[in-house]
Structure 1
C-alpha cells in the first residue's frame, strides 16, 4: 500500500473518529501516531510523540493561551462584560435596533478580552438577551445578533484561532493579531448595518431604546473605561512594539485581576472558578496543539498536501480558483465540524497549497478564520447558535438560524472585500513589522 493511500485512509479515519464524537486532540493523536507507526515504524512514531509533546507544551509562544483565557474569565467573573454592554447601549441604544447594535459592540469589546467566540456569546447573551426580550425585540434579531456577534471572538485579537494558526504554520502571533483588527472592525460595521436594515424593514423587530443625556453616556463610558484601557494597552502595546504578545497577555491578565480586586468585584470562589475554567480550557487547547503536531509529520510522510496541490494545479483553476475550492471545502466542513477542529485538521493539508500559489500566509489566516466563523452560525452544527439557544431558553433553533442568515450574508461580503483588497488585513501588520 502506497504512502498516499495510507494518508487518504488516515484522513478518512480522522473524520470517522470525529463523527463518533472523539475529542479532536485524541483523534489526531491516534491517526498521527498509528499512521507513522505503519509507515516509519514504532521507534519513529514514539520519538515523534515524545518530542512533539514536550516541545509543544514548553513553547513560550503558547503562554498567550492561558493568560488571555484567564483575562477573559476574570473579566466575566467580575462582571466587567456588563459595563461594556451598558456603555455601548448608552451611545447607540436610542436608535432602532439599538440594543442589538449595542450587543454587537459589546461582543466586539469582550472579544478583545476573551479571545473565544463561545465565551463571548455566552457572556453577552446572558446580559443582552433579557434586556432585548423585555423591550419586545423579535427573537430572531435578538438571538441572531448575539450568535453572529459572538463569532468576533475568533477574529478580533487576542484570538485563540490566530494563536493555533500561528503555531501550526510557524507564523508570527503578533502579525496575525494585528491582521485581525481591521477585518474585525469591518465585520462590526457590517453587523450593525444588518441590525439597522432589519429594524428599518420591521420597526417592531428592534424598537428604539431610551435616549440618555451626554453626561449619562460619559458616565457609562467611564465605568467601562478601566477594562477598555486594559484592552488598548494590551493590543496597542503589541502594535507599537512596547512588548510581545506573550508579555501583553501576562500584563493584561495581571491588570484585570488587580482591577477586579480594587473594585472588590471578585470573590475568592469566583477567582477559584475562573482559574479552574482557565486550566480546563488551556489543557484542552494544549492537547489539540500536541495532536496537530503529531498529525503533521504523518501528512508530510504521505505527501498528501503535495498531491492535493498538484491535483488543484492540474485542474487549471489558477490561484484564485484554487482558493475558491478551498473556501467552499471550509464552508462544507463548517456545517458539520467545530471551528478549532476544522482549523487544526485542515491547515496542515491546505497551507502548503496556499504557499504554492503565492498567497500571503498572514492574509490567508484571516480568510480562514472568517470562513470558520461562518461555520459557527451555519446549520446543522452552528456551535454559536446552540450556545445562544442554551442561553435563550425557549427560542426554537429555526428562529435563531433565521436570525443569523442576514449576518451570514454580511460575513460573505466582508470575506469578498478582504479577498479583493488584501490590504484590509495586511496594512497593520506590514506597517508594524516593516
Structure 2
C-alpha cells in the first residue's frame, strides 16, 4: 500500500477507535504500533514499544508535568481559590456585571496555578453559581462567564497544555510560558470588558453588588498576595534563567506546600487528596505524550506531514488563507473532543506545514493554545459548558451555550489581533 494512503487509513482508524470511546492514548498507541509494523517491519514496531518507549518515559523533561500539576493541586485543596474569588469581588463586584467579572478575574488567578480549563471551570462554578443566583444574574450570562473564564486555564502559565506543546514541537517551555503571559492578561481584560458591555446594554443581566471600601479591598489581598508572589517567583525565575522548567516546577510545588503550611491550610487528608489528584492527572497527560510519540513516529516514516507541507506550499493562495483554514480545523476539533487530545493528534500533521509557510513556531504554539481553548465552549461538545451545566442541572445546556456565544465574538477579535500583531505574543521572547 502507498505510504500516504496507509497514513490516511491510520488516521481514519484512530478517529474510529476514539468515537468507539477507546481512550485517546490507547488509540494512538495501537494505530502507531500496527502502522509501523505494517509499513516498516515487526522488528521496528517492537523496538518502538521497547527502547523508544523507555527513552520517552525516562526523559527528564517529562518530570515538569507532575510538578506543576502538584503545585496546582496543593493550592486548590487548601481552599485559597475561595479567598481569590472573595478578593476579586471586593475590587470589581460593585460594578454592574461585577459578579460575572469577578468570576473571570478569579478564573485567571486560579488558571495561573491550575493549568487546566476543566478544573478552572469546575472550581469557579462551585464558588460562583450560588453568588450569581443570589444577585439574580441572567442565567446565560452567569453560566457563560464561568465556562468561558475556565478557558483561561490552558492559556495562562504554568499551563499543562503549553508544556506538552513544547515537548511535542521541541520548543522551550520557558519561551512558551513567557509568550503566553501578555495574551492571557489581554484576553482576561477583553472578557471582562465584554461582560461590562453586555450589562450596560442590558442592565437586568447583571445587577451591581455591594461596594467595598479601600481598607476591605487591601485586607482581602492578605491570603492572595503570597500565591501571587509564588507565581511571580516561579515564572520570573524561569524567565530570568535562575532555574530550568523542571526546577521551576519543583520550586513551585515546594513553595505551595510551605505557603499552605504557614497559612495553616494543609492537613494530611488534603495532602493525600492532592497526591491522588496529581497521580491521576499526570498519568493521563504522560500517557498522551508517550502515545503521541508512537503515533507521530508512524506518521513520520510514511512522510504524510511533509507531503502535506510540500503540497500546501505550492498552492496558489496566500499563507494567511492556509493558516485560517488550519485554525478553523482546530476550533472544530476542540469542540468535539478534549483540547489536549486533539492537539497531540494533530500537531504531527499541521505543525510542519505551518512552519514551512514561514510562521514563528512559538507564536503558532501559543495561537494554537488560544484557538483550541475556544473549542471548549463551542457546541456540540464544548467540555467547559457541560461541566458548568453539570453543576446546575436545572439549566438547559442550550442556555449555557447561549452564554458562551456572548464571548465567541470576543475570542474571534482576540485571535484576529494575535494574527495581525504577532508581537503581542513575541514581545518578551
Fold shared, TM-score > 0.5 on shorter chain? yes
Deviates more, 1:221-230 or 1:143-152: 221-230
Structural mapping, 1:119-198, within 5 Å:
119-198=119-198
Inter-partner Cα distance in structure 2 for 1:312 and 1:153: 33
Inter-partner Cα distance in structure 2 for 1:259 and 1:392: 33
Q: Deviations over 1:272-313 (max 9, x none)?
A: 111011001111111001100001111011111122223323
1:216 equivalent in alignment to 2:221: no
Inter-partner Cα distance in structure 1 for 2:223 and 2:245: 27
1:5 equivalent in alignment to 2:5: yes
Report the counterpart of residue 420 of structure 1 in structure 2. Answer: 420
Per the TM alignment, residue 55 of structure 1 is displaced from its structure 2 partner at its CA by: 2.0
1:398 equivalent in alignment to 2:398: yes
Q: Deviations over 1:309-348 (max 9, x none)?
A: 2332343122111111111211222231210111000000
Inter-partner Cα distance in structure 2 for 1:204 and 1:368: 36
Root-mean-square deviation (Å):
1.1
Report the counterpart of residue 337 of structure 1 in structure 2. Answer: 337
1:409 equivalent in alignment to 2:421: no
Per the TM alignment, residue 153 of structure 1 is displaced from its structure 2 partner at its CA by: 0.7
Contact 1:104 1:145 (C-alpha < 8 Å) held by counterparts: yes
Q: Which ranges of 4 or more aligned residues in structure 1 deviate by more than 6 Å?
A: none
Report the counterpart of residue 66 of structure 1 in structure 2. Answer: 66
Deviates more, 1:227-236 or 1:50-59: 50-59
Report the counterpart of residue 432 of structure 1 in structure 2. Answer: none
Per the TM alignment, residue 174 of structure 1 is displaced from its structure 2 partner at its CA by: 0.5
Contact 1:56 1:286 (C-alpha < 8 Å) held by counterparts: no
Per the TM alignment, residue 84 of structure 1 is displaced from its structure 2 partner at its CA by: 1.1
Inter-partner Cα distance in structure 2 for 1:340 and 1:422: 23
Contact 1:334 1:375 (C-alpha < 8 Å) held by counterparts: yes
Per the TM alignment, residue 155 of structure 1 is displaced from its structure 2 partner at its CA by: 0.6
Inter-partner Cα distance in structure 1 for 2:75 and 2:408: 28
Contact 1:117 1:384 (C-alpha < 8 Å) held by counterparts: yes
Inter-partner Cα distance in structure 2 for 1:314 and 1:355: 14
Unaligned runs of 5+ in 2: none
Structural mapping, 1:169-318, within 5 Å:
169-318=169-318
Per the TM alignment, residue 249 of structure 1 is displaced from its structure 2 partner at its CA by: 1.1
Q: What's the secondary structure of 1:44's corresponding residue?
A: helix
Inter-partner Cα distance in structure 1 for 2:428 and 2:395: 40
Per the TM alignment, residue 73 of structure 1 is displaced from its structure 2 partner at its CA by: 1.0
Q: Deviations over 1:35-54 (max 9, x none)?
A: 00001111101111223322
Report the number of matched residues.
429
Inter-partner Cα distance in structure 1 for 2:300 and 2:223: 52
Per the TM alignment, residue 270 of structure 1 is displaced from its structure 2 partner at its CA by: 1.6
Q: What's the secondary structure of 2:96's corresponding residue?
A: coil
Per the TM alignment, residue 100 of structure 1 is displaced from its structure 2 partner at its CA by: 0.8
1:324 equivalent in alignment to 2:354: no
Inter-partner Cα distance in structure 2 for 1:318 and 1:303: 24
Q: What's the secondary structure of 1:125's corresponding residue?
A: helix
Contact 1:305 1:349 (C-alpha < 8 Å) held by counterparts: yes
Per the TM alignment, residue 266 of structure 1 is displaced from its structure 2 partner at its CA by: 2.0
Q: Report the TM-score, using the length of structure 1 for normalisation.
A: 0.97
1:34 equivalent in alignment to 2:66: no
Structural mapping, 1:107-122, within 5 Å:
107-122=107-122
Contact 1:64 1:246 (C-alpha < 8 Å) held by counterparts: yes
Q: What's the secondary structure of 1:306's corresponding residue?
A: helix
Inter-partner Cα distance in structure 2 for 1:296 and 1:326: 18
Contact 2:313 2:357 (C-alpha < 8 Å) held by counterparts: no
Contact 1:65 1:282 (C-alpha < 8 Å) held by counterparts: yes
Report the counterpart of residue 47 of structure 1 in structure 2. Answer: 47
Contact 1:137 1:205 (C-alpha < 8 Å) held by counterparts: yes
Report the counterpart of residue 348 of structure 1 in structure 2. Answer: 348
Deviates more, 1:255-264 or 1:176-185: 255-264
Q: Report the TM-score, using the length of structure 2 for normalisation.
A: 0.98
